[in-house]
Chain A
Amino acid sequence: SQTIHQWPATLVQPVGSPLSLECTVEGTSNPNLYWYRQAAGRGLQLLFYSVGIGQISSEVPQNLSASRPQDRQFILSSKKLLLSDSGFYLCASTTPGTRNTIYFGEGSWLTVV
């Protein structure tokens, strides 16, 4: 099965500061990669997904962006954080041809103050 490394695990950032969350995947090749956000007490919202290097699909308009510089690396960024960006961010991966079973990283808790 896949292993997903995601960091940092926790961060507190001031409004207007930049953000970079990084995710790497082991145990598979050519994965589909995802960034989800979960606000407190809410469900998971799909932010971005990628089917290959440099291919990013955005689900919702926002001040976040994603990049995939390598096959198993996925990065979530922001130039200027908003208070509403606070939440639990999850990187996830699926391998085509495996019934889309999704594996998650341990998540990153972001608090914007």
Chain B
Amino acid sequence: AQTVTQSQPEMSVQEAETVTLSCTYDTSENNYYLFWYKQPPSRQMILVIRQEAYKQQNATENRFSVNFQKAAKSFSLKISDSQLGDTAMYFCAFMKLFPNNAGNMLTFGGGTRLMVKP
């Protein structure tokens, strides 16, 4: 079974600064996807960014980027120019791809609570 570990339960950052959230995962699979989801106080789960394991290039989405190290099984999220609205829980998630189009199961880490301070 896959496991996803987020070793930082809580983090804080000053507005406009950069912060990096860590995520490691354990799998024997070679083909998979990785995600970061954001959960603000409204509790809605919002997709932040997605990475395909077969792509070497790190995904970016505006102020959000990842550092994907496949050999090290590491998938960190960098938030640049942090804004107050970035305050939320952030979840790293792993998606294993079953053969024969059987499914796409998400396994989540325990989350990192990020506080952006003015």
Q: Do A and B come from the same complex?
A: no
